[in-house]
Chain A
């Protein structure tokens, strides 16, 4: 393969409803393929469902972002870490197990289900505001962004009055195009605020996730201020943009498929399966899930050497015809749970049950309360977040 034939990632989607054609070609021709990153480094791209699962569940692949071999999609090197302790997402064994176990109880199926009334209330309040306000309105600003941010802010005990502060900073952190100094500044501002918040909760542990975590770690003698800061940071960032983007994209595709939407509205017991399919269909973790090999590992017949980076292109693995029949079709009754939208392995999305619940409540409520909802601009004019780590719609004017 000549140097010209090595594709450079990331590759932008040309259609919101499918991963880039180049990704599919990779899966069909070279499921473990060398690709080039913006900084010129070559890494492996994995596109088959089975290979991705193998990589994400194999402890010989490290999640440590400080490892020089870890795939970097940003052009510039990252700013020096202001948190000296690694974030949960960046941990490997042996630290990762206990660190994750310490917080996973806050995200169980049962605990999330207990949030249902509050999430329903948040969704209803925002739809009330939409109905009382002018048309058209941007769904992203009116519903998609506020709902998940308000839910996570509430879980963590962050005042909602500070949500816009987080919106702007977290958006900077996920965009590829953000200049390095703006990333650095956003990171610092966010940390500064969280530092104040965590300090306040240390003095007065409130009954929320942060307060409970502080008490739990104190009891176990494992309390560390910086580790708590890191946890608050990752949970806050992870809970915003992802769910917001799924709300926007799901609304769009359902509006584009009125017969599917109608079937769903007639039987809300089908919504959970529909949410699962929407997650698979969109797989918004656009840049792929990064890892770096710490030993030589054979995956899909290819030897990945110690120190080499890997990008698991989950959006492409989720269209693998070996696993999903008519994989490119949106089949809301498919009922397939073995998709990779939340990743796989020990780092699988901690908030996945929260995400599912928010999506289910938004879908059931939005179309019930605004049955005449429709896009206010031609869909071809919508602008998608193709410069971000997480795919979505930038602005989505709707009316009814």
Chain B
């Protein structure tokens, strides 16, 4: 899984941080920081949830087997 974030779409809600704090953080200005663009398998479910809850649709995934 490769995670990409589009900062232009980020509206600083921080839901990704609440759902997957090992993968996402927030800068002081609220914008997303991607901590791990290739998170381990055990975090994949949380990352998919982050994609789903992101109000700006700013997180994209490339899933590879």
Contact = CB atoms under 8 A, between A and B. Distances in A.
A108 B12 CA distance: 7
Contact of A101 (B26, B30, B49): B30
Query: Is the contact region of chain B dominated by helix, strand, or loop, or is it mixed?
Result: loop
A346 interface: yes
B5 interface: no
B30 A345 contact: no
Interface in A328-358: 337-338, 343-346, 348, 352-353
A233 interface: no
B18 to A, nearest CB: 6
Contacts, number: 55
Interface residues of A, number: 20
Contact of B57 (A57, A337, A352): A57
A345 B29 contact: no
Given A104-B30, A108-B26, A108-B28, A338 B13 contact: no
B18 A348 contact: no
A105 interface: yes
A105 B12 contact: yes
A293 to B, nearest CB: 19
A105 B13 contact: no
Nearest to A56: B55
A348 B55 contact: yes
Q: Give me the 4 closest cross-chain CB pairs, A-B, nearest first.
A: A104-B12, A104-B30, A348-B55, A105-B29
Interface centre among A100, A337, A343 (most CB of B within 10 A): A337
A335 B29 CA distance: 28
Query: Is the contact region of chain A dominated by helix, strand, or loop, or is it mixed?
Result: helix
Contacts of B34: none
A109 B25 CA distance: 9
A105 B28 contact: yes
Q: How large is the interface on B (under 10, 10 to 19, 20 to 34, 35 or more residues)?
A: 20 to 34
Contacts of A352: 13
A107 interface: yes
B11 A338 contact: no
Contacts of B8: 97
B18 A346 contact: no
B17 interface: yes
A349 to B, nearest CB: 8
A348 B13 contact: yes
A110 B30 CA distance: 9
B30 A108 contact: yes
Nearest to A345: B55
B3 interface: no
A352 B49 CA distance: 18
A108 B57 contact: no
Interface in B10-50: 11-15, 17-19, 26-31, 49
Interface string B53-64: 101110000000
B26 A57 contact: no
Given A344-B55, A346-B55, A337 B30 contact: no
A158 to B, nearest CB: 22
Given A105-B30, A107-B14, 18 more contacts: A57-B55, A100-B12, A101-B29, A101-B30, A101-B31, A104-B12, A105-B12, A105-B27, A107-B12, A108-B12, A108-B14, A108-B28, A109-B14, A109-B17, A109-B18, A343-B55, A346-B56, A348-B55
